[in-house]
């Protein structure tokens, strides 16, 4: 009888562990696979809440900007990234930044959905990630060189 109890407990623990690992699969795999660009300067920008500049809240297709902080708070499915429009990167292209994944301890889903005149001509040497506020833009994880991986 005692042996059967151990078997049931062991089976339950194995099932529970498998379910937990499957549920958090996104959290475990921090690696980025795809075409990578190294030494990309990652800067941050934030939505402009100025009433005179309504477009400051929207990406290049008129969709509201998605910030890193809202993604981390589980309020968004992805984070908006702005890049040089001359690159003609398809709208919504998924990007992985291994340095951010490592820092935050899980995969940050990033999509190229915006551009700006400041990025024109910078090619793959610069990218702007959308953050919640000006204060957030001074975070030590930005304004530095990172690796961009196009997945």
Question: Is the dihedral angle over the CA atoms 51, 53, 54, 58 positive or is it negative?
Answer: negative
Residue given tokens 């959308």 in the structure block: 130
Q: Do 55 and 115 fall within a single domain?
A: yes
Q: What is the CATH number of the domain that holds 140?
A: 2.40.40.10
What does each C-alpha distance from 21 to 7, 28, 78 come to in angstroms? 21, 8, 22
What's the pLDDT score for residue 36? 98
Rounded to whole angstroms, the Cα distance separating 45 from 79 reads 12
What's the pLDDT score for residue 64? 95
Q: State the residue range of the domain holding 68.
A: 32-150
CA 5 to chain centre: 45
CA 23 to chain centre: 19
Alpha helix positions (H), the chain? 2-23, 25-28, 68-72, 98-104
Nearest to 81 by CA among 51, 108, 121, 53: 108
What's the pLDDT score for residue 53? 56
Q: Do 116 and 72 fall within a single domain?
A: yes
Q: Do 64 and 26 fall within a single domain?
A: no
Rounded to whole angstroms, the Cα distance separating 43 from 82 reads 10
Q: Do 126 and 145 fall within a single domain?
A: yes
Q: Do 6 and 44 fall within a single domain?
A: no
Q: Do 39 and 26 fall within a single domain?
A: no
Residue ranges, the chain, pLDDT below 70: 1-28, 51-55
What's the pLDDT score for residue 49? 78
Q: Do 15 and 56 fall within a single domain?
A: no
pTM of the model as a whole:
0.79
Q: Do 62 and 101 fall within a single domain?
A: yes
Q: Do 7 and 51 fall within a single domain?
A: no
State the total domains in the chain. 2
Q: Which residues pair with 64 in a beta bridge?
A: 58
What's the pLDDT score for residue 145? 97
What's the pLDDT score for residue 48? 85
Count helices and strands in the chain by DSSP H and E runs: 4, 6
Q: Which two tokens stand for residue 115?
A: 């551009």
Q: Do 26 and 46 fall within a single domain?
A: no
Q: Do 7 and 22 fall within a single domain?
A: yes
Q: Do 14 and 51 fall within a single domain?
A: no
């Amino acid at each position: 009888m005692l042996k059967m109890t151990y078997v049931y407990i062991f089976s339950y623990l194995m099932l529970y562990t498998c379910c937990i690992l499957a549920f958090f699969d996104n959290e475990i795999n921090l690696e980025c696979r795809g075409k990578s660009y190294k030494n990309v300067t990652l800067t941050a920008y934030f939505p402009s809440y100025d009433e005179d500049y309504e477009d400051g809240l929207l990406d290049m297709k008129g969709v509201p900007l998605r910030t890193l902080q809202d993604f981390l708070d589980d309020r968004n499915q992805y984070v908006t990234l702005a890049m040089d429009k001359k690159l003609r990167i398809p709208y919504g292209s998924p990007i992985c930044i291994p340095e951010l994944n490592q820092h935050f301890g899980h995969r940050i889903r990033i999509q190229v959905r915006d551009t700006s005149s400041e990025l024109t001509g910078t090619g793959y040497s610069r990218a702007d990630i959308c953050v919640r506020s000006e204060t957030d833009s001074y975070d030590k994880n930005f304004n530095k060189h990172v690796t961009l991986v196009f997945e």
